[in-house]
Amino acid sequence: MKTFAAIVSFALIAGCMAVTEDQKEAARQLAGKCMQQTGTSEESVQRLRNGDTSGADDNTKCFVQCFFQGAGVVDGEGNMQEAFVTEKLASEYGQAKAEEVVQRCRNNSGANACERSFSLLQCYIANRASLM
For residue 34, give the 3-state DSSP assignment.
helix
Confidence at residue 18, expressed as pLDDT on a 0 to 100 scale = 53
Neighbour tally for 17: CB within 10 Å: 15
Domain edges within the chain: 5-131
Provide the pLDDT for residue 132.
Answer: 73
* pLDDT tens series, the chain, 132 aa: 333 344 445 554 544 455 677 777 888 889 899 999 999 998 998 888 888 899 999 999 999 999 999 988 999 999 999 999 888 888 888 899 989 999 999 988 899 999 999 999 999 888 877 777
Under a CB-based contact definition with an 8 Å cutoff, are residues 86 and 103 in contact? no
pLDDT for 7 equals 44
> What is the CATH code for 5-131?
1.10.238.20
Distance CA 94, CA 86 (A): 9
Say how far apart CA 98 and CA 87 lie, in whole Å.
8
The interaxial angle of helices 82-93 and 95-105, nearest 10 deg, is 140
